[in-house]
Amino acid sequence: MSLRSKLAELAGLLALKAVRFGPGMGRSFPGWTVIKVGDFDAVRELARRPEYGVVLITGTNGKTTTTRLACALLAEDAKVSCNYDSNTINAVTTGLLKGRKAELVVTEYGIRSREYGIPDIVCELVDPLAIAYTTISKEHFRENADKEDPFGAYFEAKRLLARPLKDGVLILNADDPRVTYIRDEKRGDPVEYVLYGLDVEIEDLTPPTEELECPACGGELNYETRYFNHKGLYSCRDCEFSRPDPNVAVVRLKGGPDEWKVTLSYDVTNAVTGERLEGEFTYELQLPGLHNVYNSVCAISLYLAVTPRPEDPEGTIPRVIEGLDPLEFIPPGRFEVLNVGGKPVGVGQGDNGDAFKANANLMLSVAGNVEVCVYTTPDENEYPIFEMHRIVLRALDPDELHVFPGRESVEAAEGYYEELAEEFDAEFHSIPHDRMREKVEEMRRVCEEADGPVFASGCGPEHEMWEALKRELRGG
């Protein structure tokens, strides 16, 4: 390790100690300090420290839960350092700094845009052992608003993370056409693949929030089965692009919506030992929604691909998954169905079509119907998200719809409300972003006064508003 990199590490460690005693910047400031002192060479040298390497987990939804599950599994076989809620090179570097004595570093890496996330540079610097993708859905229009095709720019940024990878393993959701397309783009590169997905007979409860074009040729995708939104068994009408057979497949799925019995079949070559791992096992998952089944299968696929000690996966995986406290794996602000005055009230963040739809499906599984919706709108420049939300609202068909600004622009929220008022018995609550406490109190009042099941979801400040509403509904 060069003298400059040693100084950078020392400065980063001092910054780690400093942020423990002050608010904010805890995830990014130590990493920023390392880069400021030692430049990118210091990041590269930190990434070489773990004996087996670094794992990056990305996607639109499910990153945090998948990272937590993967870490719990890998910690059975190795000394693991885990990093959550990382969206920048600074936060990733903080994770490397914390994991400098670990055998494996596992870090969530959310990518919002190429400029903000520099994903290709991150991949080159970190040289990951593995990259895992959960899903890729329409989101982050604001971060790419200056682009001609904002979502296209976001999709490109996600794919850029994998593009420089030449010697590692990609864990990909075979049921998601956009994620599968990453493999097609990298044909010819010396990369191993672990594809995961469902091979069961289930159908989505609500209509798809978007019609996907084939990512390979732009043609029409036909679906034999839709498991959830754009994830399912698909093939292109105009080219050979289609859903590949997964290496890790859910072959039986029972239960739901809060508890699942999952049977997995797997055939994976471990990237650390070179062993071929084959078999089938069943585990019980106490997490709500089909999206969490996907998260668990992604985490298990990652475990099978990179654990340095894969002696007993069929014993380790069920034991760890079934021993987890489900409350620890529901991130702050995420959707939960509460009992409020004897009626179900579903509350939680739904910033994009996938998340909003997952919340609605879970609500319908629990309650059967929805009488009142509390909907928090996207911001300006986020009309595509509103269009996806509106499809789900139509499927829920509430008797009453209460519309609140979910982000900063009250004017944009009122425009969305006016469109919804043409279809629903709707009321607009024009409480701005900076009067959060008042907004939460009004949302609580609507939820408590409703006679039947309530669905409260949409956009909002990360975690804060939804956690506050849940606390109020639970009695403070």
Taking only the tens place, the pLDDT of each residue in 267-277 is 999 999 999 99
Residue 470 pLDDT:
94
Distance CA 406, CA 408 (A): 7
Residue 462 pLDDT:
64
Q: How many CA atoms lie within 13 A of 442 on its CB side?
A: 18
Residue 437 pLDDT:
94
Beta bridge partners of 276: 269
Please check whether residue 236 is in contact with residue 242, taking contact to mean a CB–CB distance below 8 angstroms. yes
User: Which of the listed ranges 13-22, 183-192, 228-237, 467-476 does the model predict with the highest average pLDDT?
Assistant: 228-237
Strands 221-228, 231-236: pairing kind: antiparallel
Position 25 confidence tier, pLDDT thresholds 50, 70, 90: low
User: Is the pLDDT at 21 greater than 80, yes or no?
Assistant: no
Distance CA 105, CA 113 (A): 24
**Residue 82 dihedral angles phi and psi, to the nearest 5°:** -120, 145
Question: What are the tokens at 168?
Answer: 């590692």
Question: What are the tokens at 199?
Answer: 């091979």
Q: What is the mean pLDDT of residues 357-378?
A: 95
Q: What is the mean pLDDT of residues 95-110?
A: 95
In the block, residue with structure tokens 């991130």: 331
User: Is the pLDDT at 23 greater than 60, yes or no?
Assistant: no
User: Is the pLDDT at 179 greater than 70, yes or no?
Assistant: yes
pLDDT in tens, 133-172: 999 998 888 888 889 999 999 999 999 999 999 889 999 9
Q: What is the mean pLDDT of residues 161-189?
A: 95
Q: Cis peptide before 215, with omega less than 30 degrees from 0?
A: no
Give SS3 for 313.
Answer: helix
What angle is formed at CA 153 by the lines to CA 377 and CA 299, rounded to 5 degrees?
A: 80
Residue 20 pLDDT:
72
pLDDT in tens, 270-320: 999 999 999 999 999 999 899 999 999 999 999 999 999 999 999 999 999
Position 3 confidence tier, pLDDT thresholds 50, 70, 90: confident
Q: How many CA atoms lie within 13 A of 45 on its CB side?
A: 16
Residue 188 pLDDT:
84
Residue 295 pLDDT:
97
Question: What are the tokens at 397?
Answer: 């068909």
In the block, residue with structure tokens 């990179």: 306
Please check whether residue 264 is in contact with residue 283, taking contact to mean a CB–CB distance below 8 angstroms. yes
Enumerate the H helices of 110-201 as residue ranges. Answer: 114-117, 119-126, 150-162, 177-185
Sheet holding 400-404, edge to edge: 336-340, 343-349, 454-458, 372-376, 400-404, 426-428
**Residue 466 dihedral angles phi and psi, to the nearest 5°:** -70, -40
User: Is the pLDDT at 233 greater than 80, yes or no?
Assistant: yes
Residue 271 pLDDT:
96
* Spacing of C-alpha 363 from chain mean position: 19
User: Is the pLDDT at 35 greater than 60, yes or no?
Assistant: yes
Distance CA 175, CA 230 (A): 8
Distance CA 456, CA 29 (A): 35
pTM score > 0.85 for this model? yes
Average per-residue pLDDT for the chain:
93
User: Is the pLDDT at 476 greater than 80, yes or no?
Assistant: no
Reduced 3-state DSSP string for 29-81: HHHHHHHHHHHHHHHHHHHCCCCCEEEEEECCCCHHHHHHHHHHHHCCCCCEE
User: Is the pLDDT at 26 greater than 80, yes or no?
Assistant: no
User: Is the pLDDT at 39 greater than 90, yes or no?
Assistant: yes
Distance CA 394, CA 156 (A): 31
Residue 43 pLDDT:
96
With a pLDDT cut of 70, the percent of the chain lying above it is 98
